[in-house]
């Protein structure tokens, strides 16, 4: 632990940018607004870079942490949580990615949003997002991470609903926030359970360092599960609760539904929040708590399974979507699935590696899509595109490079990172006791890779190649985007092309050209057995390459030559038609949620309100009122005001008393 007093500058700068644009933005010129918004993440990047240099001065292999504890935050009873930041290798890698890619996207956005009505609001939100995201990764304790966690969710909500005049956008924003809240429900309970255990251990702290040290010791503790029966390990429970949160934020089954809808927002937002940074925070959280997760093999298996299944599931949907951003959205879900698969096989380094390369190529892909939309006046439907290569060469080439990267073409970034994950899965299958599961997951991962290459090349072909399918009118306005947009594209495409050389596979680099791996050095379990598995690794590599190239080629052929044949297949043969329908309609998951979760809660509450509040409770209250009224009506009749009736009453009374006295005497 080394104290460092500059860390706070990294999140502070975007916060300052947010305050300037948010409070004073109305009076500022458009160019000033953009300048302020872009300068802040760039400064943060510079500060992060200076920290990174400090790390390298100590030697990259040296495991150290810079820390800055500022003021106390929540302190009551046994809990005491400060505002504090900690930076280790994992953090600095994330921070550089976030501020670096973030800066590029901000610059791009100055071009993209040049015609928007209220740029100050847009850039204020973007800066606020950067602040939250940086708090999330820099946080020294899990509660402060939760601050960033909710903060990015809020910014996502605000930016999805940025064009709120269209109620669909506003609804998508709310859907994102609420789905994330469902995840946060798990996250919050996980934090509470962690704190209960930490208190039990006599170390009531929520700092990651302490948690990673103490919580794994509780692995043997089990709780009984009520109703269902059986028992669950304390650490497993914590991991699963946290994973619910991760699945919400990182759009995994069953909480992924918000991400495709979230594509309504301005495209730089999609690139920044919903490709490069925010959606990866679930992966980061697991990597951050790697020692805790490693103490629960059961939880890891769940993470791996959900990840692999999501990777394939989302890829099968992406294949049939016609909305260019929807394809990329499902692609993101699918790629996040790979990252969780990596986490689940305890290949934390590989997962983070893929997280970083994915940030490069997916941000590039989204920005390219934005560039296309910019030229096409907001058109999203790929069926109305085609042939754009002629007008937008830079966009085309950068997109092609990123597509090759995500599809896993040899030497491009995605090839190295994705294959590292697949190889680690296979390795786990070969070495672990429940090998079958991991063999299956490996197969799923491979299949998803095939789909990935297929739908990505479909996207490129439909958009940029073939005959133009847009109207003459649109064609006249087609143009390449301004340099503020194309320069970030080229930088990102460059990174997508060469980013993989940070970490060459063991069989190629023989452990030498893998500085990123060494740098992360996340506590991965040492390779078991230590057999020579080079042969298997080569086979796995070759298989991936063959499948990626094959699928890309097939896709190219199908969508340049045989589109009509495919369409025919999708409409006539019973089996393929059914599969096509399932994929096109996203397996009707949204409709199922609507019918079985949302509607019942809404109509249930109305029924409950009418029945319990209005009928039962208020009914009883009003009944009491009415009874009193009736009662008094009866007694009121006695007071008629007629002397005669009073006399009769008195007489009756006297007679009753007399009768009583006589009875007493007779006894």
**Segment 504-523, which members bind other proteins (CB under 8 A)?**
521-523
DSSP string, 107-130: HHHHHHTTT-S-HHHHHHHHHHHH
Rg (CA), the chain: 32
Minimum CB distance to other proteins smaller for 216 or for 482: 216
User: For residues 534 and 541, is the Cβ–Cβ distance under 8 A?
Assistant: no
Residues 260-299 interacting with other proteins (rule: CB under 8 A):
291, 294-295
Q: b/e string for 476-486 if b means 16 or more Cβ within 10 A?
A: eebebbeebbb
Binding mask 29-68 for other proteins (x = CB under 8 A): ----------------------------------x-----
Nearest CA among 315, 350, 362, 355 for reference residue 336: 355
Q: What angle do CA 496, 498, 502 make, to 5 degrees?
A: 110
Q: Which of 58, 596, 609, 659 binds other proteins (CB under 8 A)?
A: 609
Q: Kind and range of the H or E element at 45? A: helix 30-57
The pair of three-digit structure tokens given for residue 263, joined into one six-digit string? 């594509």
SS3 sequence, 591-612? HHHHHHHHHHHHHHHHHHHHHH
SS3 sequence, 136-154? HHHECEHHHHHHHHHHHHH
As measured in angstroms, the least distance from the Cβ of 20 to other proteins is: 15
Binding mask 462-501 for other proteins (x = CB under 8 A): ----------------------------------------
As measured in angstroms, the least distance from the Cβ of 600 to other proteins is: 11
Residues 519-558 interacting with other proteins (rule: CB under 8 A):
521-524
Q: Is 185 in the site for other proteins (CB under 8 A)?
A: yes
User: For residues 524 and 349, is the Cβ–Cβ distance under 8 A?
Assistant: yes
Distance CA 535, CA 50 (A): 41
Q: Is 143 in the site for other proteins (CB under 8 A)?
A: yes
Q: Is 177 in the site for other proteins (CB under 8 A)?
A: yes
Q: How far is CA 479 from the centre of its chain?
A: 34
Residues 329-388 interacting with other proteins (rule: CB under 8 A):
none
Residues 230-249 interacting with other proteins (rule: CB under 8 A):
234-235
Q: Which of 4, 6, 32, 201 binds other proteins (CB under 8 A)?
A: 201
Q: How far is CA 351 from the centre of its chain?
A: 15
Distance CA 652, CA 667 (A): 23
Q: Stretches 31-39, 390-398, 536-544, 609-617: which one binds other proteins (CB under 8 A)?
A: 609-617
Strand order in the sheet with 79-87: 2-3, 66-76, 79-87
Residues 408-427 interacting with other proteins (rule: CB under 8 A):
none
As measured in angstroms, the least distance from the Cβ of 247 to other proteins is: 15
Q: Is 76 in the site for other proteins (CB under 8 A)?
A: yes
Q: Stretches 71-79, 332-340, 458-466, 639-647: which one binds other proteins (CB under 8 A)?
A: 71-79
Phi, psi for residue 639 in degrees, rounded to 5: -90, 80
Q: Is 567 in the site for other proteins (CB under 8 A)?
A: no
Q: Is 590 in the site for other proteins (CB under 8 A)?
A: no
616 secondary structure, DSSP code: I
Q: Is 164 in the site for other proteins (CB under 8 A)?
A: yes
Q: Is 227 in the site for other proteins (CB under 8 A)?
A: no
Q: Is 212 in the site for other proteins (CB under 8 A)?
A: yes
Q: Is 178 in the site for other proteins (CB under 8 A)?
A: yes
Distance CA 166, CA 476 (A): 28
Q: Is 25 in the site for other proteins (CB under 8 A)?
A: no
Distance CA 171, CA 525 (A): 44
User: For residues 17 and 42, is the Cβ–Cβ distance under 8 A?
Assistant: no
Q: Which of 28, 42, 154, 487 binds other proteins (CB under 8 A)?
A: 154
Q: Stretches 207-215, 324-332, 378-386, 478-486: which one binds other proteins (CB under 8 A)?
A: 207-215
Q: Which of 199, 432, 475, 484 binds other proteins (CB under 8 A)?
A: 199
Q: Which of 196, 298, 508, 651 binds other proteins (CB under 8 A)?
A: 196
Q: Stretches 159-167, 360-368, 393-401, 577-585: which one binds other proteins (CB under 8 A)?
A: 159-167
Q: Stretches 172-180, 255-263, 427-435, 570-578: which one binds other proteins (CB under 8 A)?
A: 172-180
Minimum CB distance to other proteins smaller for 436 or for 605: 605
Q: Are strands 79-87 and 2-3 parallel, antiparallel or unpaired?
A: unpaired
Phi, psi for residue 337 in degrees, rounded to 5: -55, -45
Residue 110 has a CB neighbour count (10 Å cut-off) of 21
Minimum CB distance to other proteins smaller for 202 or for 529: 202
As measured in angstroms, the least distance from the Cβ of 630 to other proteins is: 17
The pair of three-digit structure tokens given for residue 407, joined into one six-digit string? 């599809």
Q: Which of 181, 210, 469, 563 binds other proteins (CB under 8 A)?
A: 181
């Amino acid at each position: 632990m080394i104290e460092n007093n500059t860390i706070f500058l990294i999140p502070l700068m975007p916060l300052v940018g947010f305050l300037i644009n948010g409070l004073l933005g109305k009076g500022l010129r458009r160019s000033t607004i953009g300048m302020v918004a872009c300068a802040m993440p760039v400064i943060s990047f510079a500060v992060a870079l200076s920290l990174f240099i400090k790390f390298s001065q100590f030697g990259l292999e040296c495991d150290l942490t810079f820390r800055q504890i500022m003021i106390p935050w929540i302190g009551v009873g046994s809990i005491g949580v400060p505002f504090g930041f900690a930076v280790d290798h994992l953090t600095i890698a994330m921070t550089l990615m976030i501020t670096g890619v973030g800066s590029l996207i901000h610059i791009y956005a100055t071009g993209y949003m040049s015609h928007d009505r209220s740029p100050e609001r847009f850039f204020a939100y973007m800066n606020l997002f950067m602040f939250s995201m940086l708090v999330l990764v820099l946080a020294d304790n899990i509660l402060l991470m939760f601050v960033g966690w909710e903060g990015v969710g809020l910014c996502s909500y605000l930016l999805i609903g940025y064009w709120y005049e269209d109620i669909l956008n506003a609804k998508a924003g709310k859907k994102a926030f609420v789905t994330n809240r469902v995840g946060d429900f798990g996250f919050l309970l996980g934090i509470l359970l962690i704190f209960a255990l930490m208190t039990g251990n006599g170390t009531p702290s929520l700092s990651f360092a302490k948690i990673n040290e103490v919580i794994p010791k509780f692995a043997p503790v089990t709780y009984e599960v009520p109703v269902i029966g059986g028992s669950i390990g304390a650490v497993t429970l914590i991991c699963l609760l946290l994973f619910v949160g991760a699945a919400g934020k990182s759009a995994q089954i069953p909480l992924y539904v918000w991400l495709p809808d979230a594509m309504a927002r301005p495209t730089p937002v999609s690139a920044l929040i919903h490709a490069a940074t925010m959606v990866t925070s679930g992966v980061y959280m697991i990597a951050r708590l790697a020692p805790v997760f490693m103490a629960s093999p059961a939880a890891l298996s769940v993470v791996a399974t959900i990840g692999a299944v999501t990777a394939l599931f989302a890829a099968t949907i992406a294949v049939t979507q016609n909305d260019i951003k929807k394809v990329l959205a499902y692609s993101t879900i699918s790629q996040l699935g790979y990252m969780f698969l990596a986490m689940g096989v305890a290949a934390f380094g590989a997962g983070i590696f893929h997280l970083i390369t994915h940030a490069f190529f997916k941000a590039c892909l989204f920005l390219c899509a934005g560039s296309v939309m910019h030229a096409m006046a907001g058109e999203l439907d790929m069926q109305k595109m085609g042939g754009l290569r002629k007008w937008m060469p830079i966009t085309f080439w950068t997109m092609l490079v990123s597509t090759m990267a995500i599809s896993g073409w040899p030497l491009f970034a995605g090839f190295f990172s994705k294959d590292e994950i697949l190889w680690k899965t296979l390795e786990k299958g070969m070495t672990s006791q429940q090998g079958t599961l991991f063999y299956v997951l490996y197969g799923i991962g491979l299949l998803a890779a095939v789909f990935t290459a297929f739908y990505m090349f479909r996207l490129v072909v439909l958009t940029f190649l073939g005959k133009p399918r847009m109207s003459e009118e649109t064609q006249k306005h087609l143009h390449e985007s301004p340099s503020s947009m194309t320069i970030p594209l080229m930088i990102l495409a460059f990174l997508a092309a060469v980013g993989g050389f940070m970490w060459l596979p063991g069989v190629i680099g023989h452990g030498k050209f893998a500085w990123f791996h060494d740098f992360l050095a996340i506590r991965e379990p040492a390779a078991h057995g230590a057999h020579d598995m080079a042969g298997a690794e080569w086979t796995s590599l070759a298989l991936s390459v063959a499948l990626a190239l094959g699928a890309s080629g097939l896709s190219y052929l199908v969508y340049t030559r045989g589109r009509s044949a495919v369409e025919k297949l999708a409409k006539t043969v019973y089996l393929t038609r059914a599969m096509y329908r399932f994929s096109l309609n996203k397996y009707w998951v949204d409709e199922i949620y609507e019918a079985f979760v949302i509607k019942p809660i809404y109509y249930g509450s109305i029924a409950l309100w009418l029945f319990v509040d209005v009928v039962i409770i208020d009914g009883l209250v009003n009944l009491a009122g009415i009874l009193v009224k009736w009662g008094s009506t009866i007694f009121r009749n006695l007071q008629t005001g007629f002397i005669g009736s009073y006399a009769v009453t008195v007489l009756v009374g006297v007679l009753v008393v007399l009768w009583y006295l006589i009875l007493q005497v007779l006894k």
